[in-house]
Amino acid sequence: MNISPLMDDGYAGEPAKRVLNYMQGRKQKGDPIVGIYCGYAPIELIQAMGLVPAVLCAFSKVPIPAAETVLPANLCPLIKSSYGFIIEGTCPFYAMSQAVIAETTCDGKKKMFELIADIKPTHVMDLPQVPDDREARRNWKRMILKLQGFLERTFDREADEKRIEAALKSSNRKNALMRKLFDYAALIPPVLHWKEMYDVGFLALPATGEEMAPILEVLLEKLEQRVREGTHFGKPGAPRVLVSGCPVGGDATKIFKVIEEAGGVVVAPDACTGMKAFAGVFEEDSGDPIAAIADRYLDIPCACMTPNNRRLTDLTAMIDRFKPDAVVDFVLQACHGYSVESYKIGRHVQETHGLPFLKVETDYADGDTGQLRTRIEALFESI
């Protein structure tokens, strides 16, 4: 594959290093860093205070043995990895962060946060999990206001409604451009590679709309050029795969690699590490920007929510847009929410869309790549 990298800045294929470089630049300018773990952390509020959100390390198998000296082995690898990074002191983003924002997304994370709470100021947001209840919106808005108080006290900064409104407008602009970028993966054949989506996405998440817009404009132009030149990824007729489910980063990207080795192309990485982070629109000029933030975040279709019907509607929209030949539901070991929900996802994909579906349950270790390959190849045989 001799296609010149989309983000030709010396960091192609190394999104974490690029983001680290960005963070260091912001820190040198005197902007404090706040660590975040999850897609529910309201980035716009953080940005409105001139703080920089840093996604903390959670995707390497390296620190897991250290984590298992304290945490049970039969726990989600993402939680074990996060904790291992902290006790081993190997996450540069955590080291840079002056405070950490966490959410009660799942039991394992909740209890893990207790174990790191005394290392750095750690604020846990109580995330409502019945999102369609009227009370949920109200409570989540309160939790965002409470976070605002925590950040104001910790960093001695303030955010007024005007700045919050400006931040969410900036995100709307950024997210719209990101979705435009993803459209190039929706083309048949795709002209955008999943690694490139990661290159862009990992930077776009913490960066502001103002920072990202000029970068994205250039990338979109490059993609247009690829279309004109007929540059694309995958062999003709390569099976197009939508990967839904748990976050996929670092060592977990083995699933994308296995899909490619088996001859497929990943056209739609759903999940918080993929396109989910850039979905949805904040209501602008509502007069209550915190409520607008609350609404947008509570619409994230995470399996910690019940019922999580939005995931099915979003999946349908994604299938229509990216035209996958098969859907893979990626479940991390011991992630009960995604694992149980997979049954509904499988039925939806097979019965509503008539597409082949495969649930894979795995961790960060390489030991099962052979077995994964067999499953993926068999999935492709059934297309």
| Interface with other proteins (CB under 8 A) | 350, 357, 368, 370-371, 373-375, 377-378, 381-382
Nearer to other proteins, 166 or 372 (CB): 372
Distance between CA 136 and CA 353 in Å, rounded?
31
Residue nearer to other proteins on the CB measure, 10 or 237: 237
The two tokens of residue 83 are 């904790």
CA distance 158 to 369: 49
Dist. CA 160–CA 188, nearest whole Å: 45
Are the C-beta atoms of residues 248 and 273 closer than 8 Å to each other?
yes
* 38 versus 379: smaller Cβ distance to other proteins: 379
Comparison of 166 and 258: residue with beta carbon closer to other proteins: 258
Least CB distance from residue 371 to other proteins, whole Å? Answer: 5
Asked if residues 335 and 287 have their Cβ atoms less than 8 Å apart, the reply is no
CB nearer other proteins, residue 305 or residue 376: 376
Nearer to other proteins, 158 or 381 (CB): 381
Cβ at position 355, least distance to other proteins in Å: 12
Q: Are 248 and 256 in contact (CB under 8 A)?
A: yes
For 10, 133, 145, 290, 293, the CA distances from 138, given in Å and listed in that order, are 45, 9, 11, 11, 12
Q: Which is nearer to other proteins, 45 or 246 (CB)?
A: 246
Q: How far apart are CA 305 and CA 298, in angstroms?
A: 9
Non-local CB neighbours of 145 within 8 Å, separated by 6+ positions: 290
The nearest distance, CB 241 to other proteins, in angstroms, is: 16
Q: Shortest distance, CB of residue 377 to other proteins, whole angstroms?
A: 5
Nearer to other proteins, 38 or 328 (CB): 328
Per the CB < 8 A criterion, the answer to whether 21 and 46 are in contact is: no
In terms of CB distance, is 138 or 347 closer to other proteins?
347
Minimum separation from the CB atom of position 255 to other proteins (A):
15
Query: Smallest gap, in angstroms, from Cβ of residue 359 to other proteins?
Result: 9
Q: How far is the CB of 313 from other proteins (least distance, A)?
A: 24
Rounded least distance, CB 235 to other proteins, Å: 11
CA dihedral 369, 374, 376, 378 (to 10 degrees): 180
Minimum CB separation from other proteins for residue 238, in Å? Answer: 12
- Distance of closest approach, residue 160 Cβ to other proteins, in angstroms: 53
* Largest Cα–Cα separation, the chain: 59
How many angstroms separate the CA atoms of 136 and 240, rounded?
37
- Neighbouring-strand partners of residue 52: 33
Query: In the complex with other proteins, which residue's Cβ is closer, 225 or 350?
Result: 350
State how far the Cα of 346 lies from the Cα of 356, in Å rounded to an integer. Answer: 9
CA-based torsion, 186, 189, 192, 197: positive or negative = positive
253-to-44, 58, 258, 364 alpha-carbon distances in Å: 28, 13, 9, 9
DSSP letter at 348 equals: I
CA contacts within 13 A on the Cβ side of 83: 26
